[in-house]
Amino acid sequence: MGFVSSLLGFTGFGMGMSVGLVVGYYMFIFFQPNDVK
């Protein structure tokens, strides 16, 4: 049970990191043109 719990926790952490990176990347791309103007 502990193995499954840790595996789920690790997967959730990886998913959160991936989503955070993608959101941050799109936010950076979205706000970039405003600085160029």
Length, in residues, of the chain: 37
Tokens at residue 3, please?
């193995």
The DSSP element (H or E) to which 1 belongs, if any, is: none
Task: Kindly tell me if the per-residue pLDDT of 13 is higher than 70.
Answer: yes
pLDDT level of residue 22 (50, 70, 90 thresholds): very high
Q: How far apart are CA 22 and CA 28, in angstroms?
A: 10
**pTM beyond 0.85:** no
